[in-house]
Amino acid sequence: MEVTMKKHSYLYLAGLALAMATSPWATVKANTEPVSPETGTSLEAVNAPIASSTDLSATPASEELNTGEQAVDAETQITSMIDDMSTRQKITQMLMPDFRKWQTEGSEAVSDLTVVNEEIAEAIDGYDFGGVILFAENVKETEQTLNLTQDMQAAAVGNKAQNGNIPLLIAIDQEGGIVYRLGSGTALPGNMALGATRDPELARQAGEIIGRELSALGVNVDFAPVLDTNNNPQNPVIGLRSFSSNPELVASLGIPLMQGIQAHNVAVAAKHFPGHGDTATDSHTGLPLVDKSMEELAALELAPFKAAMDGGVDMIMTAHIQYPQIEKDTYVSKKSGEEIHIPATLSDDILTGIVRNQYGYDGIIVTDAMGMDAISQNFGESEAAIMAIQAGVDIVLMPTVLRNKLDLAKIDAIIDDIEAAVAQGHITEGMLDDSVRRILRLKAKRGVLDFDLAARTAEAANQAVGSDLNRDLERQIAASAVTVVKNDDTILPFKLTAGDHVLLLGAYNNELPGLDLGMRRLQADGVIPADVTFETVRYNAESSSESLKESLDKASHIILVSEIGRESHLASDHWLTRVPTEVVDYANSQGKLVVVMSISKPYDVANYPAAKAIVAVYGNKGMDPTEALRPDNAFGPNIPAGVEVIFAGLPHKGSLPVDIPLIKDGLLSTDQVAYPIGFGLSYDEPAKGILAVLPEAAKIGQEFPVTLELGDLKGIEKGTYQIRLHFDPALVDGVLSEGIKLEGNTFVVEKEAGDLSSIALSLKAKTSGSVAPILFVELVDQLGRIFSLGQAAYQGLTVLVTSDSKVVTTTPIDKDVKDQTAESNKDSNKDEVSTESTVSAEEESKKMETTTTQPVLPNTGDSQNISFLLLGLTGLASLAALKKKRS
């Protein structure tokens, strides 16, 4: 078929890109504060330090720009470009095919496309597509990927066909976690792992890693982040790809991740609007339905997307899902002949009604892949593309399958049919113009129009992709996310001694190398003795505790992987549940220490009631078993991080990002929760039962008492333990007393398990002012494991030391003493403490409630223990006011 298109000057486009890059509307919009559609209140966690975001929706209609010698009206330039385009070229700018695999003419094999051959170059040049999407089959190695994108762009701008030379949007699904494409890049632990950290800064850093690597490779669009709120435990396709079942947590992490990617001039797409989290059907293989009202959607699913739109997201990706309460129009499925509701991807009520009109979003709307069964099985290819454009879509993603030159006839047919729809008035020319305008705006905004082959080098790409910096951050994030769900008898962290043997059991071969890497890292870092031995063993459907008995009997410690993919795997007779259950029971009967490590969706943590210790790591990706301590290729970081945390080789702070239902007879309960969202244990639980008590005031040169009151020292039920109090020798001296050891600036007290009698110590003040004499307190158990809340927990626990003979309590002090106090605080970099007014413990408690991000732990029902827990959770010593004594 002969195609005639008008051509454009690439130099003209490059000049336009330069103009737009310096435009006031091309600058970033800082301090964007997403708002919940339901409450109208700020999503506070988004206010953490994050990169600024670009707001395409705030783009003025036109701006006069100074590009050196002449002023350029950017919007007028875009209008001129559009006016010069044929209808057909506008249509092809709105298409984004894939070339995942290709069969060259005369070849019998279909191979992964890793280089731009002549046929691909001709297709890209001849059709003037708006963009292409890459998959793992395309991006295996760093230099190979850079060459691929460079050659694709060269084909697009080369203009051999004399029908247009606009550079491409080159897109990819680099979400992190279980969905990553770059073979040599940094995989990252994934969104649900980030949800477990509850840390917007770590989310931003994860986004920076993604953006840095994609930009270096010439990929300018990332179809991420996933902003689906995964509130359905049986969701087969989102799961670990979601940050949380809480929409505010999704937004508070999704926006920083988005902005981290954008910081490297890579465009992003929030997906899958209006939300794919509350489905039990995978749209790749079926057509899901969400029967919710607009009010229900606004309260949950829509909230993160609205926050992203307000925060400057470049694109919104649609969901192939029916929402019958929103889009009531129906269509007769070509597969079944039955009536179905028009899915969101093809719905004008959803895309134009909600996205454009209600939310006022003027960025790009892109479809999810049109080849997914939800669309391809129910609609014709041309039909679906036309309906999508009519609904308000700007880019039709993967409108057909292209695997050889003959398949290009299918693209021709789709273009012809869309062009006919325009001619017949079913699609207006203005609709095409609006979409192409948005596409060109984005290309200018992200520097795509200013494409320069020399701008990227293999050397720079090799330095950026999979760098040591990226891998170190990946390891930190993965470890931070690890969530300790159960730790009866405080058996974690594991403490090994010479001669111990660790057995690591995995359900699939891909899990074993990650388990092995974790152990090798621990030995290399000196966390576990070099003479400790370990082995990795796979269990399968034929395994049992009897068949594994030889390995189990040799082990002193066991790490047991649980990987549950769907609810049916939770049945007691399914091998993925049966084998771990048998191993736990056998290990308990033999007195061996065993921890269950959940590596997929964390709902299985409620499936092992007999296990004393359970952790969740939120990622099941494997790795090449031949990799070194610092792998060269992308790998799943979650499993090795879980192993390292089990031995306290890396710090963790994870809390559950979703509710965990009770499991009854192998089924997930729909109304009872085993572990609530936000639940997670630290390794310092025993130290939370230690309360330090100081007097309000003391005098220089005289002793004053320090009391350690002991409450619930969780897990310290047998043997002996030590309490160690480290004091600041610059401020106080320790006073030796009977039964107390004094080692340098450390009091050491030996205790028998069960002895919770208070400990009386004495210090002597050396300097006046408001001083914090305690550095930190440690509990050391019989295994030599150290539990401590760290120095931050004691920085605010102060004594007012005076030089006169009277002890000052809460009465005003004279100016000289006040000035002396202020100077002392200034010298020690501490906040000034005034004795003229006292903040009540209740007021301080309220302050802590507004600042803490720690998970809510179970209430013990005892007010004394609650104060211990609060002290440990917040690290603020103001609660000591509850226990302060008058001197």
Tell me which residues are annotated as active site: 284, 368
d(CA 803, CA 812): 16
Rounded to whole angstroms, the Cα distance separating 166 from 82 reads: 12
Whether 73 and 107 have beta carbons less than 8 Å apart is answered as: no
Residue-wise over 576-588: b if at least 16 C-beta within 10 A, else e?
Answer: bbbbbbbbbebbe
Judging by beta carbons within 10 Å of its beta carbon (0-12, 13-18, 19+), is residue 229 exposed, middle or buried?
Answer: buried
Cβ atoms of residues 245 and 230 within 8 Å = yes
Query: What one-character-per-residue DSSP string does 480-515 give?
Result: HH-EEEEEGGG-PSP---TT-EEEEEESSGGGHHHH
Q: Distance between CA 685 and CA 855 in Å, rounded?
A: 13
d(CA 878, CA 793): 10
Task: Give whole-number Cα distances, 183 to 180, 208, 262, 456, 623, in Å.
Answer: 8, 18, 22, 19, 11
Q: Can you name the residues that pair with 698 across neighbouring β-strands?
A: 801
Q: How far is CA 120 from the centre of its chain?
A: 36
Q: Which of 198, 178, 173 is nearest to 188 (CA)?
A: 178
Contact 812, 835 (CB under 8 A): yes
Cα 791 to the center of its chain, rounded Å: 29
| Strand segments (E) across 677-728 | 690-693, 697-699, 703-710, 720-727
Phi/psi of residue 627, nearest 5 degrees = -70, 150
How many other CB atoms are found less than 10 A from the CB of residue 818? 15
Cα distance between residue 617 and residue 192, in whole Å: 9
Q: DSSP state, 349?
A: I
